[in-house]
């Protein structure tokens, strides 16, 4: 029987403050059974999309946690960006993946909407398959007037009254929640900065203006280029390749060309296969001719994600690097601690420590999720440093902006591994406790977890020290180094306690 699995792709009105996006992602990752699959942030849009999947109840809980965290951290009165929006958490769609029907996703969306309206006092509108009336099916209709317009309209216009929650907007705005089929967010950049060209092309191709079915499009200015921003609501009927060629021809009418394209979030493999089949004219192509598809069918993909991380780590690129590896080791350490504690809970001979072991399970799971998230966070932090270093510096103003960007990004590049170090020491303390009081048959696993936590601390500490050397803010650098020394001292005491336990067990060193 296929296990029930739901995809959720919430969009947040923040794409510039990565610490805010990190906090929201962490709230999602902290829910057991949920896996974050992808993150995409755009500074010009001032928008981030986080894709995650899990069992229906867990996915709904993760979505609620994310909405609550975004409401705390994002103020729509201050937020500005190219992308239309009405809320801090702007839209939350559920997509059935396996073992779940569209109707079940509709019920999931409605239950979440009721909870958000009741507990968070955020107005909620239902859309797509979950919509309660025809005029609310399309997201663009609900976003009409954006946050600023809705702030007034919601007070008196009955047509703008929310499905759940109060008829007034706070700083978190409103949230649109629904259920839909898989959607592809696909953008094409043009070789011009004239946004009117992109707007003209968008108007020509989108369905609402008489263009192609199952296609929504806007013309925006992003990263200094005109962008045609699109959503494909059914790629099987309006394929990516066909739309790309239409845009190419429309661009030629304006004397410009397609510069490049991008995907926002994830895309079904079938959409890319269809595009490749169309462009390469592979008329007799079969999907099972894809090597990876054949491997997956043969059950040979177990451990692929882990292997991909190791391949990326071994590649000749700056990221992922030592900081990501430290977080990965920390996550494995926490996983081993949770394992030992779980092997202890429910055993009669350990009844006296069952309550504490259950608490260790919960804390170790939390640390594992946080460390797993830091694997990617560390890479993003260092990539930001490299991007800042590439900024222009030909004028004093440009040089000053570059220096400020390097300083800011280096602070983040130090603070991420410092957090990894904190979590590694917390994991080490739990490992020692599990080794002393947990299931004696899993003693070696507890010691292994402690060893990995020590390695994570050492590797993360090296990254903190290297970044502390380069920042101009010496007070911040000394604060980091002072905390790191305190953590290392705490880890030293834990290591001594662990060695005593090893000697007591007479395990050869």
Residue of 78, 81, 12, 86 lying closest to 48 (CA atoms)? 12
Q: Is residue 176 within 8 Å of residue 142, measured between CB atoms?
A: yes
| CA pseudo-torsion sign 256, 265, 280, 206 | negative
Measured distance CA(349)–CA(352) in Å, rounded: 8
User: Residues 378, 429, 437, 445: which is the catalytic one?
Assistant: 378
Measured distance CA(388)–CA(43) in Å, rounded: 14
Residue of 257, 239, 259, 260 lying closest to 248 (CA atoms)? 257
What is the pairing mode between strands 175-179 and 124-128?
Answer: parallel
Measured distance CA(300)–CA(308) in Å, rounded: 14
Q: What is the three-class DSSP state of 72?
A: helix
What is the pairing mode between strands 5-8 and 11-12?
Answer: unpaired
Residue with tokens 């696909």: 186
Cis before 320? omega within 30: yes
- 83 catalytic, yes or no? yes
Structure tokens at 203: 């108007």
Strand order in the sheet with 184-190: 215-222, 225-232, 184-190, 258-264
Q: Is residue 389 within 8 Å of residue 296, measured between CB atoms?
A: no
Q: Say which residues have a Cβ less than 8 Å from residue 377's Cβ, sequence separation at least 6.
A: 22, 327, 416
How far from chain centre, in Å, is Cα 368?
16
Total residue length of the chain:
509
Measured distance CA(278)–CA(271) in Å, rounded: 11
Cβ-based neighbour number of residue 45 at 10 Å: 24
Structure tokens at 330: 């920390």
Cβ-based neighbour number of residue 293 at 10 Å: 15
Q: Is residue 147 within 8 Å of residue 81, measured between CB atoms?
A: no
Q: What is the three-class DSSP state of 166?
A: coil
Structure tokens at 29: 């990752």
User: Residues 40, 45, 83, 411: which is the catalytic one?
Assistant: 83
Q: Is residue 74 within 8 Å of residue 13, measured between CB atoms?
A: yes
Q: Say which residues have a Cβ less than 8 Å from residue 354's Cβ, sequence separation at least 6.
A: 344, 345, 346
217, β-bridge pairs? 230
Residues with catalytic roles: 83, 378
């Amino acid at each position: 029987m296929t296990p029930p699995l739901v995809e959720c792709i919430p969009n947040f009105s923040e794409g510039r403050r990565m610490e805010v996006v990190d906090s929201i992602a962490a709230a999602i990752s902290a829910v057991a059974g949920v896996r974050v699959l992808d993150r995409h942030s755009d500074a010009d849009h001032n928008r981030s999309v986080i894709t995650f999947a899990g069992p229906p109840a867990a996915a709904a809980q993760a979505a609620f946690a994310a909405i609550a965290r975004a409401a705390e951290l994002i103020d729509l009165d201050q937020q500005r960006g190219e992308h239309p929006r009405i809320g801090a958490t702007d839209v939350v769609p559920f997509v059935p993946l396996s073992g779940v029907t569209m109707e079940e996703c509709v019920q999931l969306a409605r239950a979440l909407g009721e909870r958000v309206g009741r507990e968070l006092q955020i107005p909620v509108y239902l859309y797509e398959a979950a919509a309660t009336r025809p005029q609310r099916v399309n997201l663009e209709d609900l976003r009409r007037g954006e946050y600023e317009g809705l702030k007034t309209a919601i007070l008196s216009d009955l047509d703008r009254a929310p499905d759940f929650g109060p008829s007034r907007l706070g700083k978190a705005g409103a949230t649109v929640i629904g259920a839909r089929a898989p959607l592809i967010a696909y953008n094409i950049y043009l070789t011009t900065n004239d946004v009117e060209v992109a707007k003209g092309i968008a108007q020509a191709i989108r369905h609402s203006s008489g263009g192609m079915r199952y296609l929504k499009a806007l013309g925006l200015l992003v990263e200094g280029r005109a962008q045609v921003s699109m959503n494909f609501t059914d790629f099987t009927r309006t394929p990516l390749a066909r739309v790309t060629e239409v845009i190419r021809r429309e661009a030629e009418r304006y004397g410009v060309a397609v510069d490049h394209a991008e995907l926002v979030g994830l895309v079904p493999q079938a959409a890319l296969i269809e595009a490749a089949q169309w462009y390469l004219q592979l008329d007799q192509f079969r999907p099972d001719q894809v090597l990876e598809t054949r491997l997956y069918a043969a059950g040979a993909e177990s451990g692929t994600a882990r292997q991909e991380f190791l391949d990326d780590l071994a590649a000749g690129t700056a990221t992922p690097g030592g900081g990501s590896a430290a977080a990965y080791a920390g996550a494995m350490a926490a996983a081993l601690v949770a394992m030992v504690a779980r092997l202890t809970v429910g055993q009669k001979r350990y009844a006296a420590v069952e309550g504490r072991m259950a608490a260790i399970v919960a804390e170790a799971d939390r640390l594992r999720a946080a460390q797993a998230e830091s694997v990617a966070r560390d890479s993003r932090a260092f990539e930001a440093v490299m991007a800042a270093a590439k900024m222009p510096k030909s004028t004093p103003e440009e040089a000053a902006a570059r220096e400020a960007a390097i300083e800011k990004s280096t602070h983040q590049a130090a603070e991420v591994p410092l957090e990894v170090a904190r979590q590694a020491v917390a994991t080490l303390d739990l490992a020692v406790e599990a080794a002393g009081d947990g299931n004696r048959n899993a003693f070696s696993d507890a010691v292994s977890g402690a060893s990995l936590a020590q390695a994570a601390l050492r590797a993360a500490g090296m990254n903190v020290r290297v970044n502390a050397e380069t920042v101009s803010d010496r007070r911040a650098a000394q604060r980091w180094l002072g905390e790191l020394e305190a953590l290392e001292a705490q880890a030293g005491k834990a290591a001594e306690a662990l060695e005593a336990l090893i000697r007591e067990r007479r395990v050869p060193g």
